[in-house]
Amino acid sequence: MLFFTDVLLISVSILLVFILLRYYTRQKSYKKFIAQNEGKKFFCYNDRLVTKVFIETHVLPILPKEVEVVWVESRKPISLNYKRANISTMLYEINSLKGSFPFLVTIENGTIDYISLQQQTYKAIQDPGKTQWLLDVILGIFDDSDKS
């Protein structure tokens, strides 16, 4: 019995060290990601069918080329240019705050700034006459962030 307890205690200790090491490694990688991407802009949307089709048809074609597009499929972010863990951490930070997809995200002064476009997107989906209004809102937000 004593042997089993010792083995269990050692195993739990090793597992705890491994978990802490992985956490600190991810945090370090994320901080590096934030620093390296100062001034970057992201447009993040998810796989909810109603918004996905609308966004891919109307929004993505008008986004400025410097905007990075991140699509979240089954809660997993898909980005061609960044590590999934860093994008996941960024989206987790945003999602723990207020709002829902789609998001406009900028990295400024080492912090993540975001705006949820959920309400505006659904208004444009329900009233196709508001599609241009939504596009103007998106481009306006990105133009404003350039002036900061």
Distance separating alpha carbons of residues 144 and 148, to the nearest angstrom: 7
Q: What pTM does this model have?
A: 0.78
Query: What pLDDT sits at residue 40?
Result: 92
Q: Around Cβ 120, how many Cβ atoms within 10 Å? A: 16
User: 73 falls in which pLDDT band (50, 70, 90)?
Assistant: confident
User: 146 falls in which pLDDT band (50, 70, 90)?
Assistant: low
pLDDT reading at 39 higher than 70: yes
Residue of higher predicted confidence among 98 and 76: 76
Q: Give buried/exposed letters for 125-145 (b at 16+ CB in 10 A, else e).
A: beeeebbeebbebbeeebeeb
Query: What pLDDT sits at residue 142?
Result: 73
Find the helix or strand (DSSP H, E) in which 137 lies: helix 131-147
Average pLDDT over residues 88-92: 86
Q: In what order do the strands lie in the sheet with 67-73?
A: 76-78, 67-73, 41-46, 103-108, 111-116
The mean pLDDT of the chain is: 85
In this structure, are residues 41 and 113 in contact, taking their beta carbons and an 8 Å threshold? no
